[in-house]
Amino acid sequence: MSNKCRVCDAETKFVISYGKMPLANAFLEPSQYDKEYFFELAVSHCPSCKMLQLIDQPKPELMFHEEYAFFSGTSKAMAVHFEDKANSHIQEFIKSPSDAFVIELGSNDGIMLKHFAKNKIKHLGIEPSRNVAEVARQNGVDTIVEFFGKETAQKVLNTHGKADIISASNVMCHIPDLRSVGQGVDLLLKDDGVFEFEDPYLGAMIEKTSYDQIYDEHVYIFSVTSVDNAFAPYGLEVFHVTPLETHGGSMRYHLCRKGAHPIRQSVIDQKAKEKSLGLDTYETYEKFAQSCEKNKKELVELLQNLKSEGKRVVGYAATSKSTTILNYCGIGSDLIECIYDTTPIKQNKFTPGMHIPVKSFDDFYNNAPDYAVLFAWNHAKEIFAKEESYTQSGKNWITFCPDVKVA
């Protein structure tokens, strides 16, 4: 394990280890248990560029491949979110739709770019997972199957020219080599172009102790301060930010070439908030590590008590995030009998590491448990509305973020 910052090479400071961890999306069958991959999930903070980062990380090829299990289109709220994002880009940053060019990195199943396709705006999705890219193509979204970096940027520059917008959602924090991204964006972005991305926000994670945002795919948890520092060497700066509700608290960063757009008040205000939250000081992360330990203890105690009372407890949604919770807390099928999930390729498999069975929702409705642990807590509003009859029949929800509680 190296303690060198992935972004600026300074010595980082160790924050917490969540122990031996599998890949968050490596749902598997019992025949695969003996070759299951594990790594140590641990986090450090860079005192110089302020980036919170994974110390060790599996190779991206292990995580984003032919069988990538995450399809953006599975949540209705997310579909609306990405339609709004496409429309706001078209209104604010596209001057002339007929000669505009929009790139999305990690375009998944085309959930956002399809709105550009619909408006006949030239676009290109760059997506490393073939199965989701195939769905995007079926949706009429031009997509190439590649990882993004300097080399892909050069290829796209040669074939398509420079971009007005380079966008990415829940992707930038997946890319270990931000330097190559910075170089790629520098190559591809028009002089007044906008490089925009959104990811789970460090401020929200610290405020909510939502440590389940930390897993193999999230190599960074960004703040405005750390993003500004990371891309400054490539002549880029953050000129506007928008806090978002998605993924339990995200931030949308708009960057441009230095001086190309005036720095908006949103950036000044958010940086001030980050200072007052202490995101630049190590003590904040020491406290965060203690809160994680406390949360773990309370969740395990609650589940053990319910078990001793003979209650039936299941999980709701086999999210990537749940892999960190289950493995760090050591929760297996003795405490949570199964997890229900809408994703067909997760169903009838077992969760990474703890091997809890994943089932389709039919069973949840036919044979309702006493308690359901809400692993998709970030979609609580949508789920509580959808599952009103479960709640009204006197059944219970368990949430663990920000605090462990029965709702």
Q: Which residues bind Zn ion (CB under 5 A)?
A: 5, 7-8, 10, 46, 48-49
Q: Smallest distance from the beta carbon of 92 to ligand TYD, in angstroms?
A: 26
Residue 318, class by beta-carbon neighbours within 10 Å (0-12 exposed, 13-18 middle, 19+ buried)? buried
Q: Smallest distance from the beta carbon of 321 to ligand TYD, in angstroms?
A: 4
Dihedral, CA of residue 94, residue 99, residue 104 and residue 108, to nearest 10:
110
Answer for which of 169, 210, 343, 347 binds ligand TYD (CB under 6 A) is 343
379 counts as binding ligand TYD under rule CB under 6 A:
yes
Nearer to ligand TYD among residue 201 and residue 234 (C-beta): 201
Q: Smallest distance from the beta carbon of 179 to Zn ion, in angstroms?
A: 12
Choose from ligand TYD, Zn ion, none: what does 48 bind? Cβ within 5-8 Å by kind.
Zn ion
d(CA 182, CA 127): 17
Q: How far lies 111's CA from each of 174, 212, 317, 334, 338, in Å?
A: 18, 24, 20, 38, 30
Nearer to ligand TYD among residue 24 and residue 86 (C-beta): 24
Q: Smallest distance from the beta carbon of 5 to ligand TYD, in angstroms?
A: 26
Q: Smallest distance from the beta carbon of 220 to ligand TYD, in angstroms?
A: 15
Q: Smallest distance from the beta carbon of 13 to Zn ion, in angstroms?
A: 11
Point out which residues pair with 195 in neighbouring strands: 166, 255
Choose from Zn ion, ligand TYD, none: what does 7 bind? Cβ within 5-8 Å by kind.
Zn ion
Nearer to Zn ion among residue 12 and residue 270 (C-beta): 12
Answer for which of 104, 164, 198, 341 binds ligand TYD (CB under 6 A) is 341
318 counts as binding ligand TYD under rule CB under 6 A:
yes
d(CA 244, CA 231): 21
Nearer to ligand TYD among residue 56 and residue 382 (C-beta): 382
Q: Smallest distance from the beta carbon of 365 to Zn ion, in angstroms?
A: 49
Q: Which long-range contacts (CB under 8 A, 24 or more apart) does 258-263 make?
A: 260/191, 260/192, 260/193, 261/192, 261/194, 263/237, 263/238, 263/239
Q: One symbol per residue from 72 to 111: x for binding ligand TYD (CB under 6 A), - otherwise; what is it?
A: --xx------------------------------------
Q: Are 61 and 145 in contact (CB under 8 A)?
A: no
399 counts as binding ligand TYD under rule CB under 6 A:
no
Structure tokens at 19: 């122990």
Q: Smallest distance from the beta carbon of 342 to ligand TYD, in angstroms?
A: 4
d(CA 72, CA 93): 24
Total number of residues that touch ligand TYD (CB under 6 A): 17
Please list every residue from 34 through 73 that binds ligand TYD, using CB under 6 A.
Answer: 70
Nearer to ligand TYD among residue 147 and residue 390 (C-beta): 390
Residues written for the chain? 407
Nearer to ligand TYD among residue 25 and residue 270 (C-beta): 25
**Interface positions with ligand TYD (CB under 6 A):** 70, 74-75, 317-321, 341-343, 346, 376, 378-379, 382-383
